[in-house]
Chains A and B, each alone.
Chain A
């Protein structure tokens, strides 16, 4: 399930600082195996082979995100986009530097759909909300709105393993936006779901922008980035390459990719 944290419904002024990132570095150690096991570890150890690698996911990043704006984040795979989003959300602590988050955050990260596939959609919504710090009363108050927005009332009591990927995405998106967060982080999640829901979700993003919320949108759909964002950053191997208005940064990024205006990159949400 997407993450959510309690919305305080405090009005924000356009330009007020929502997120301040100062000299951020994120380094972590990960295994070379997809599913680490004791057996493999012992075999690799006896063979004298390397078992872990150090990832410098984000390097010396300084950034400010303001209320009333939508920040687009572009970059190739492995650029550190998802790590940055997780660090802003408090999921992954910084290795160096500091992040100040002025308000409640709701995240919709690409992999983060569902707490347990065996549990029902209802249980997942409730557990996801409670884990993120919402009270049961707050979840109950928003529950019907979430289910209606996701258009999943008929299957909300079915185990989530019976959901299609589009249904997963709809429920996750509905939770993230219905709680009216101060800051909403969306990582590649707008590209899922059917055409009808894509339009609906994009409209919701624009609506939140109009309400002076702060949004961070990570996407490979560059046309959407250009359409929705006020400012775009381009990350590459953890470093900030460029920051500026969407057209300038997207054009530079496209040039870097050497694919120009190909339909693949311009594919809309």
Chain B
């Protein structure tokens, strides 16, 4: 006897959760294959492509460092490590936002022709961003050695921090992929949004440089506690503040729940909106 698929109206606009989750899990291979194909397409499969992957943020951090030297006159190596580590992590988020935003509209033909959990597309886009981020960890390790930064047990906090960064990057990819279906010009606004986020986050400056007046940034910017903790762990070898970890975790999971709900409640319409 063949399997029977039953299609009925969505309850409260949402697909049946168990069936959806099962279908999503059954298509794990798509996500990894998509990431590999996308990296190949962007030439990151070649050795030169992989070099560019780390060279790009490295050069950017060098440019910003030059700017900082000129503006503030500080030349300490810790400052350069802070800048580089922060930019690498920040790139994970922005790459995920940029690729995620166009993931659904770019997969339009597949959406029009095939039944599958649409959320696979922004997930795959965020995995590509994660794949691009991983080699930068090796560069940070080398930088650690070269600059003589402390190796402490606190460095192990890098693992949960990367996980928190990824959850946040995934949530952003899901959110912007859905918004982009309805407002295609949102992609034009993304450079301004990401640039603003960069300036509001402790990347180009250290959190200790923040005046009391600007302390509200810690609360309103989800990236603030993440990036501050990242710098404490990766550059200073210190333990992150528990409040920062808690805040970052809540931000990431809350955004993931909200963006997933928004996506799932809207994905029924994607086939007629693309």
**Contact residues of A with B, CB < 8 Å?**
1-3, 8, 10, 12, 28-31, 35-39, 41, 55, 86-105, 107-109, 111-116, 118-119, 123, 126-128, 130-133, 135-136, 182
Contact = CB atoms under 8 A, between A and B. Distances in A.
Contact of A114 (B26, B109, B183): B109
B29 A111 contact: no
Contacts of B3: 8, 103-104
A215 B185 CA distance: 40
A218 to B, nearest CB: 13
Nearest to A176: B113
A93 B15 contact: yes
A88 to B, nearest CB: 8
B269 A29 contact: yes
Contacts of A100: 4-6
* The 7 nearest A-B residue pairs measured at CB: A112-B113, A3-B114, A90-B115, A130-B30, A38-B183, A37-B185, A103-B2
A104 to B, nearest CB: 7
B2 A10 contact: yes
B184 A37 contact: yes
Contacts of B114: 1, 3, 89, 91, 107, 112, 128, 131-132
B253 interface: no
B182 interface: yes
A130 B33 contact: yes
A133 B33 contact: no
Interface string B181-208: 0111110010000000000000000000
B272 A30 contact: yes
A91 B268 CA distance: 8
B9 interface: yes
Contact of B183 (A28, A37, A101, A103): A37
Contacts of A37: 183-185
B273 A31 contact: yes
A93 B10 contact: yes
B46 interface: no
B30 A127 contact: yes
Nearest to B181: A36
Contact of A111 (B30, B40, B112): B112
Contact of B33 (A2, A10, A29, A127): A127
10 contacts: A1-B109, A3-B110, A30-B272, A36-B184, A92-B271, A107-B113, A112-B112, A113-B109, A113-B113, A119-B37
Contacts of B40: 123
B120 interface: yes
Interface string B258-274: 00000000001101110
A85 B181 CA distance: 22
